[in-house]
Structure 1
Amino acid sequence: MNDLVKAKTGVSFKQQDLDKMLQSTEYIISKSYLPDLSNMSIFPANVEAVHLGSEVRLFKLERLVQNNKQSVLEGLAAIYTALGKSGYSIFFVLESDGNSTQIQIGVKSKTGTGAGTNAGQLLQATFEGQFSGSCLKRMSNAEINNVFARIEEYQKNDAAGVTAVTAIPSLSVTDREYFMQGMERFIDAAEGQIYQAIILAEVVDEQLLQIIKTGYEQIYTQISPFAKNTFSYSQQESVNFAQVLGSSVTETLGQSVGLTETKGQSVSNGTNESNQVGSSKNQAASISPFGLGINASQSNSSSITKGNSYTETENYSDSKTTTNTNSTANTSTNSISNGTTTGTSEQHTIEFQNKSIQQMLQKIDRNLERLDEVQSFGGWNFAAYFIGKTPIVSHSLGSIYYGLMKGDESSCEASSITTWSNTNKDLILGYLKNLQHPQLCPIFKDKIIEKIPFLTPTTLLSTKEIALTLNLPQHSTSTLSVVETAPFGRSIQLLNQSKESDVDGLELGVLRHLWKEYNQKVILNKKQLTQHTLVCGSTGSGKSNTLYTILNELLQQKIPFLIIEPVKGEYKHVFGNDPNVAVYGTNPKQAKLLQLNPFSFPEDIHVLEHIDRLIEIFNVCWPMYAAMPVILKKSILKAYEVVGWELTESINLRKEKYFPTFKDVANQLKEIIQSSAYSEEVKSNYIGSLETRIMSLTDGLNGKIFNHHELSNTMLFDHNVIVDLSRVASSETKSLIMGILVMKLNEYRISQNLDMNSALKHVTILEEAHHLLKRTNTSQSMESGNLVGKAVEMLSESIAEMRTYGEAFIIVDQSPNALDISAIRNTNTKIILRLPEEQDRHVVGRSVALNDEQLQEISKLPQGVAIVHQSEWLEPILCKINYFEQQNQRYIFNAEIGSISSSQKLRQEIVRCLLCMSQRIQEESLFDIEQMQANLEQIADTLLRLEIADLITQYKSGVKMDAIKDYEKISRLIVRSWELEDKLEPLIQQTTDVVDFDSRLNHLIIESDTLIQMEVKQACFKYLSMLDQRYLKGYQIWIDQIKPNTLEPYNLA
C-alpha cells in the first residue's frame, strides 16, 4: 500500500519511523521489558538508610478474627486506603524456620519524617476497627532489628538467591465463597522451606498519578487515527499530507511515552544570553507507568550567560509623476456559439485496520480504567521479594506466590518472576533492607524513550488490588489462629425503651465484641432473676467461675442462697469458710450432717397434698411401673395413719405432731405387699424393687440423713447454705435428696404467705440439674404411662411458680439437651458458655433466638465468655465474666464430739431403759431416763419411738412393766431397736444347731457390754419363738444350757 501511495503522490511517509515508535510504545505500555530485568544492571543502593526505630513499625499477627470471610478483602482495602492517604507505605514480612511461619505486618513513613509512631498507631486503630478482637502484637525495636539483620545474613551467604514477583493480581473466581487466594495457601505450600519474604507496597503521590493518566490519554489520542486508515484516489493528481502527519505524530508520540515513564524534560536553543551565577539543590520525582518507581535525585547546577542586543533601521523615498492622455472609441459585435463537453471520472477507496494498534488502544483503555480506581482508592508501587538459601528455593517460592495472585484480569500488563544471585543479589538486598524497590538501568534502543532514568521491578496497583497481594490467611496457620466469629449485641437494649436498666442488679462482667472486651458492664436485672436462670457449659468453659461471681454479688447484697451440689464439692472450699455460710453434707466427718424427714411438712400444707408431691419425686428418681406407684402411695398413707394422722382433715390426733419415716413406710410396704392378691412372682418383684429401695434409705448414712431429727426450714432456706451431695454414690439418692429439698422449699415459701410477685428474696442453685429435671422420652407405655416425664414437668412447674414468692432458681448443667424442655422454657435468663455438642447448642441457642452463625459460635467461646440474654433484652450479648479471686484455703470441718449420740450408744440406752422399766435389773443408775427421753428424736422408727416414749411417760408416772408378763413386748422392742427383724430368719436358715446360731449372733451383735449382748440375744430367741412355735424349743435349750455357761452372775429380777 505504501508503494501505491508513493507512486501516486511521490511523497515518502517515513512509515518505518512511525512503526518503530509504535513498537516502543507497546514495549512500555505492556511492560514487555519485565522479562528482561535479570539482564539489566542494578544501580548501587545510594539511598538514605531507613531509620527502623523512628520510621518503621512492625507487628506480629497472632490471632485473626473475621466477622465474615467474604468481607476480608474490603476490610483490608479500607485499612490500606487510610494508610495510603496518610502517605505511609505498607509491607508484609513472612519468616519461616522450616517448622513455623511468622506473619508480620509493617508500616513505614516517608524517609526523614520520623512518623513511625503515628503510622503504627493508625495501623493498629484501623486493623482493630476492621478485625475487632484480633491480636496484632507490636514488636520491639530489638525484634525489628533482628528481622532486618537476617537480610544482611543472606547478603553474606554467597549461595543465597532473591526473586522478585511482578504481576497484576485479580480474583481467580468471582464467588467469594470459593475464594482460594488466601495467604495460608502460600504458607502451606512453602512449608518446610527456610526463607524470608518481603511484600512491599510504596504509596504513590496523587499528582504523579494524574501525570501518568495524562500520558496515557495523549498516547491514545495520537495513535488512535492509525487504528483504521481509509485511502481514496482518482486520476486527478494531488499532493498528500501524510508525510507531514507522520513526522508530527512520530515526534509527539515519543514525548507522550516519555511522560508516562518519567517527569518530562525540555531543551530550547536561542540567541539570548543572560548573566547568572548560582547553585540549586533539587529533588525531582520520576514516576513510571504502573510501577516504574518514584526516584528521588539531587542536582547542583551553575551557569554563566551573557547577552547583547543591537538594532539598526534605514528608510529612503523618491517620487516623480508624468501624465499623458489620448482616447479613441470604435465598437463592433459579431457572436457565434458552438460547444461540446466530455467528462471522465474514476475513484477507488481502500480501508485498512491496524490490529496491533487496536489492541494497544484496548490496553490503554483498561489501564485508564484501573487508573480511575487507583485515583479513587490510592495507588501503590508493588513487588514481592522472596529470599531463600539458594536461587532455586527463592524462585520456587516466587512461582508459588505468582500462581496465587494471577486471575482473569491479570493480562493487561506483562508479568515476571526475576531471580538474582551472587553480586546482583547483594545489590537487591541492599534496597530491601531499607524497604525500597531496587533501581535498574533500562536497555532501550529508541532514542526518544531512552531518557527514562531507571526501572523498578514493580507495577502500579490500586488499593483493592493491594488487598489481594497483601492478603491475610483465611484459615489458621502454624503461628496464626484464624477465627470466624458472628457478631452479637453491642449494648444492652431493652424491648421496652421506657424502662430503665437495673443499676443495682448483679454485675456479671463486661461486654465483649469479636474477641475484644469493652468497659461497658453487664448487669443482670434482679427482678428478672426471679423468673429463673439457666447456666450451661461444658467442662472447663467457666461455669464455676460464673456461679462464684453471682454468689459473691449475692453475698455483697445480703441476698441469701442455697446451693445444692451433687458433684465435685467445690463450693464449700470457696465459700464454706465464710462465717455467714453454713455447710451441710452426707459425711459427718466432712461437714455438718444434712438431716431431712421427707414426710414432714409445714402447718399450712395438707398431708395429702404433700404426699402427692412426694410421690412425684419418687417417680422422677426411681423407675416405677405397673402398680408400684399405687402400692408405694398406700404404704405412705398407712404410715401416716399409724403415727396418728387423720388424712382427710390433715390433723394429727396425738398431742405432738409426729411424722413417719422411711422405716415406717418400709414396715407398711411389707405388710401391704404380703396381704395383696398379687402372685408370688409379682410380690417378689415389688419387694425387690420398692422394698429394697426403701430399706436402703433406713440404714447407714442414709438412715442418718432421713430421720426425725431434721434441720428446720429456717436454717435451710433463710440463710446462706451449701448442701454438698458429692459423697453420695447413688445417683438415685442424689436425685431424691435434691427433689426433697426443692419440695420442702416450695412448701415453706407457700406457707410463709408472702406478697405476690415479690422482689428477689432468695436464690437456689441446682448444680447438675439433670439429676432432677432430666429429659425423658415422651412416649408412653402400658406399664408406666410416662410417669417420669409427667413428674419432671410437674416439678419444673412448681419451680416456675415459686417466682411469685421472690424465689430465684439458677439451673446449672453441662448439657442442656439432658434437661427437660420445661426447665429451659421456664428460665428467662440464659447464660450460655461453650457447648461443643450440636444438639446442646441448638436446644439452648434457639431459646434465645440465635441465628445459624451465632449457634456455631457457641462451640468456639473461650473460657469465661458467655452468651447472655434476659427476657427484656432486645438481643443477646457476649459477656466476659468477671474473674472471681478465690481464697486458696480448703474447708475444714471441726466436728463437735459428743453432740449427737452414736447409733450404738443409742441402742445401748434403749436396752438399759427397757430393762430398768421392766425391772429386769434393779440398778436405775445404769441409765438416765431424762437423757433417754431427749434422745428419742434419734430413733428413725417412728412406731418404736412412740412406744418407748409412751413407756417412759408411764414409768415417770409410776406405772412399771412386768419383767415376765411384758417380756414379749420388751423383746420385740429390743429386736426392732437393733434392726434385727429381717436378719434373724435368714440367719437361722444357715445354722445347724442352737450353739451355731448363738455363735453367729455374737458376730451379728458386736457389743462389749456382756449384759447388753446377752439381753439382745435372749430377745432374738424370744422374738423367733413368737414368730414360729418351731423355734420355741431352741429358745428353751439356749436358756437352759448356753446362757448359764456364758453369762457371769448378774442381778435378774
Structure 2
Amino acid sequence: MGFKLLLFYHSLMYFIFFNLSLTTILLVLSIINYVLRVKEYNINYVNYIIICMSLGLFLDFFLNISTYLPSNLPTQPETTIIVFISQLFLFISIALLIITLQHSSCDIIDLDYPSYLKSRKGSINLGNVVSQNKKKHKFFLSLEDLEKHMFVCGSTGTGKSNFIQNFLINFTKNHDIPFLLVEFKGEYICLQNNIKDMLILQPGENFSLNIFNPKGSIPEIHAERIFDILKSGQFLDESTEYSPQMQKVLVDILTEVCKEKKYQNWKGFYLKSKEYLKREHKKIPMLAQTLISIRNRIRRFSVGPMKAIFSSNTDLKINDLFNSRVLIDLSSIIRLGGEKEDALFFLNMILKYLWDENLTRGGREYNGIKHLTIIEDAQYFVPQDITKKTKLTTYLEDIALLQRGTGECLISIATRPKVSEEILANCGVLAIFKTHMEKAFQSELLNLQEENQHYLSILEKGTCILRVNTIKRPFLLWSPRIERNGLHNFEIQKNNQMIMEERYVF
C-alpha cells in the first residue's frame, strides 16, 4: 500500500511539474508577445500559439483537477504551492494576452483590400496589399489607371522615394516607355544599378543645353520660345515685367543670335545687342535704356553657373531627351554655386520643350502612355497658389490638365498636398504615406471615411494607403525596400557612355 502511494505521489509530481513548465513557457511567450506588440511588430502567429496553449492548459487542469488536487493525498505544502504558481502563471499569461490584443486593435488599419483577381489585372508590381497588419497577395497597377496621372504624398522618410523607385524598376521590366525623372537631392542615382539604360544627367557637370541653338526649328519661333523661358525665370520678382517694347527688342536680338551658329552664345548675344543699338536707335525711342533693362533682367542667366549650363556647344538633341529613360539631377546646379531658383529655371526650360514636343505629336494617334514625367518635390514646382506664380508652374499644370490625350503621364511627389488643385483633380492613382498634416483633405482625396482619418498618422514606413480609379475603395499597400548602392561620378560617366553607344542617343 505504501509503495502504491509513493508511486502515485511521484506521478502526481510529474504532472504538476510538467504543467508548471508549460505555464512558464506560456508566460515567457506572453511577455515577449506584449513587448513585440508595443514595438509594433507583426506577431499575430504568437497570439495563436498563446491562445491554443492557454485553452489546452485550462482543459488539462479542469479535466484532471482530482489529480492535481487529490482529496486523499496527505497534506503536501510544496505541491499546493507549485499548483498555485502554475495557475498564477496561466492567469497572468491570459491577462497579458488580453492587454496585447486590446493594444494591437488600436493600431490596426482595417481597410478592405482588392481580391486576388482584381489585384492581378495590371502589369506593374507595386508591392503587397496589407490587411490586419499582415501582407497578402501582390498588387499590380494597370496602365489604364496610370494614364490618368499619379500623385504621391507623405512626410519625409516615410517611403515615397522607395515607392517610386520600386514602381520604375517594375514598370521598365514590362514596358519599353521612356521617362524623365527630375529631382533635387540625388537619391535616385542608385536606380542606374537596376535600370541599366537610364541616363543620369547632371546639368553643368555632364550635361548642358545651348538654348540659342534652334536645332532645325525656325529661328523666329525659337526666339519667341526663349523669351517665354526667360520671362518665366522672373517668378521670384512679381513686380518685374517685360514691356511690349522690351519684348520686341529682346525677340529681335534673339532671332539674330539664333540664325548664325557662331553667335549662339551669351557673347554673341551681347555683340548682337550692340549692333542692334547702332542700327535701330533712331527708330526706337529710349532703346539704350531698354537694352540696359534687358541686361539687368537676364544677368542671372548670362553669368555665373547658369551661363555654362545654357550656352555650351553640346550635341544633345532635345528630342532624344524625351525618347530615352533619363534622370536629371538638379542638385548639380546647387553644387556649382547656383540657387534653387536657377534649378527651377532649368526645369522650366526642359518642361517647355516637353510641352512643345507633346503638342507636335498631338493626340490623333493616341494609344496609351508614350512618356512619363516624374517630378520629385512637386510642391516647389506646382504650389497651390498657382495664380500668383508664373509660367513655370503652368507647364506642369497644363501637362496634367491637357496633355493626357497626347500620351503624357505626370507623376508628382510631394511632402504635403500643397500643390495645384489641377494636379490633384486629374490623378487616377493616389498614394498617401504617413502624415500628420491636412489629414481631412487627404482623406477626402482618398475617399477615406472621416472616422478613419487617424489611419494616416499610424502608417508604418514603406506602407501607404492607395486609391486607384478602377477599385472602388482605398486599401493598404506595402512596397519592398530597394537597396540604395551609391554610384561615383566616374561610374555614372562610364554607364552613360555605354548607354549612348548602344542606343545612339547622342
Contact 1:615–1:633 (CA<8 Å) still a contact in 2? no
Identify the residue that residue 709 of structure 1 maps to in structure 2: 313
Following the alignment from structure 2 to structure 1, what is the Cα–Cα distance between the partners of residues 427 and 406?
16
Which residue does the alignment assign to 1:490? 113
1:622 maps onto 2:274 in alignment: no
Give the structure 2 partner of residue 835 of structure 1.
435
Report the equivalent of 2:371.
762
State the one-letter code of the partner of 1:637.
V
Aligned residue number for residue 420 of structure 2: 820
Structure 2 residue 151 is matched with structure 1 residue 528: no
1:771 equivalent to 2:388? Answer no
2:37 maps to which residue? 63
Residue of structure 2 equivalent to 1:472: 99
Superposition deviation, residue 561 in structure 1: 1.7
For 1:629 and 1:469, how far apart are their aligned partners in 2?
76
- Report the count of equivalent residues: 455
AA of the residue aligned to 1:722: L
Partner of 1:740: 349
> Which aligned pairs between 1:561-572 and structure 2 lie closer than 5 A?
561-565=179-183, 567-572=184-189
Letter in 1 for 2:256: V
Partner SS state of residue 550, structure 1: helix
Q: Could you say what secondary structure the match of 1:834 adopts? A: coil
CA contact (8 A) 1:559 1:762 kept: yes
What secondary structure, in the 3-state scheme, does the structure 2 residue paired with 1:892 have?
A: helix
Matched-pair contact (CA < 8 Å) for 1:532–1:800:
no
1:433 alignment partner in structure 2: 85
1:685-731: CA deviations, max 9, x gaps? x84xx644512222343222112635212321111111111022311
Q: Distance in 1 between matches of 2:120 and 2:65?
A: 66
Secondary structure of 2:319's counterpart equals helix
Separation (CA, whole Å) in 1 of partners of 2:272 and 2:85:
94
**1:647-1046 pair list within 5 angstroms:** 687=293, 691-707=295-311, 709-710=313-314, 711-729=316-334, 730-753=339-362, 755-776=364-385, 786=388, 788=389, 792-793=393-394, 795-817=396-418, 819-836=419-436, 838-839=437-438, 841-887=439-485, 889-893=487-491
**Cα distance 1:707–1:611, how it changes in 2: closer, same or farther (>3 A)?**
closer
Larger of the two Rg values belongs to structure: 1
In the TM superposition, what is the alpha-carbon distance from 1:549 to its structure 2 partner?
A: 0.7
For structure 2, which runs of at least 5 residues remain unmatched after alignment?
Answer: 1-10, 41-46, 498-506
Which residue, out of 597, 605, 617, partners 2:211? 597
Q: CA RMSD in A?
A: 4.7
Asked if the contact 1:662–1:695 (Cα under 8 Å) also holds between the matched residues in 2, the reply is no
Instruction: Provide the rounded CA distance (Å) in 2 between the counterparts of 1:775 and 1:806.
Output: 25
Deviation at 1:733, TM superposition (A): 0.9
CA shift for structure 1 position 475: 8.8
CA distance in 1, matches of 2:212, 2:449: 45
Letter in 2 for 1:804: G
**SS of the residue aligned with 1:764?**
strand
Contact 1:492 1:877 in 2 (8 A): no
**In 1, distance between residues paired with 2:484 and 2:492?**
22
> 1:1014 — aligned with what?
none
Residue type at the aligned position of 1:702:
M
Q: Distance in 2 between matches of 1:52 and 1:617?
A: 79
Contact 1:65 1:482 survives alignment (8 Å): no
The answer to which structure has the higher helix fraction is 2
- Alignment partners' CA distance in 2, 1:766 and 1:666: 35
* Compared CA separation, residues 777 and 581, structure 1 to 2 (3 A): closer
Residue pair 2:182, 2:376 contacting (<8 A) in 1 also: yes
1:517 alignment partner AA: K
2-structure distance, mates of 1:587, 1:608: 23
Shift of 1:751: 1.9
Q: Distance in 2 between matches of 1:702 and 1:626?
A: 20
Match of 2:129 among 511, 521, 542: 511
* Paired letter, 2:111: F
Identify if the C-alpha distance between structure 1 residues 692 and 606 changes in structure 2 by more than 3 Å, giving closer, same or farther: closer
Distance 1:658 1:803 in 2: 39
What is the rounded CA distance, in whole Å, between the counterparts of 1:608 and 1:895 in structure 2?
A: 33
TM-score of the superposed pair, with normalisation by structure 1: 0.38
Tell me if structure 2 keeps the 8 A contact 1:64–1:483: no
- 2:165 is equivalent to residue 548 of structure 1: yes
Residues 601 and 610, structure 1, Cα contact 8 Å, conserved in 2: no
* Distance in 2 separating the partners of 1:506 and 1:659: 48
Equivalent residue of 2:352, what SS? Answer: helix
CA distance in 2, matches of 1:843, 1:662: 47
Is the alpha carbon distance of 1:894 and 1:808 closer, same or farther for their aligned partners in structure 2, counting shifts above 3 Å?
closer
The CA deviation at 1:434 is 2.8
Shift of 1:598: 7.1
Report the Cα distance in structure 2 between the residues aligned to 1:298 and 1:701, rounded to whole angstroms: 96
Please report how far the alpha carbon of residue 879 of structure 1 lies from its aligned counterpart in structure 2 after TM superposition.
0.6
**C-alpha deviations, 1:240-297, integer Å up to 9, x for none?**
xxxxxxxxxxxxxxxxxxxxxxxxxxxxxxxxxxxxxxxxxxx896xxxxxxxx9854
Name 2:247's counterpart in structure 1. 633
Cα distance in 2, alignment partners of residues 884 and 491 from structure 1:
24
Give the whole-Å Cα distance in 1 for the aligned partners of 2:204 and 2:455.
42
The verdict on how the C-alpha distance between 1:576 and 1:530 changes in structure 2, with shifts beyond 3 A counting, is: same
Kept after mapping to 1: 8 A contact 2:256/2:272: no
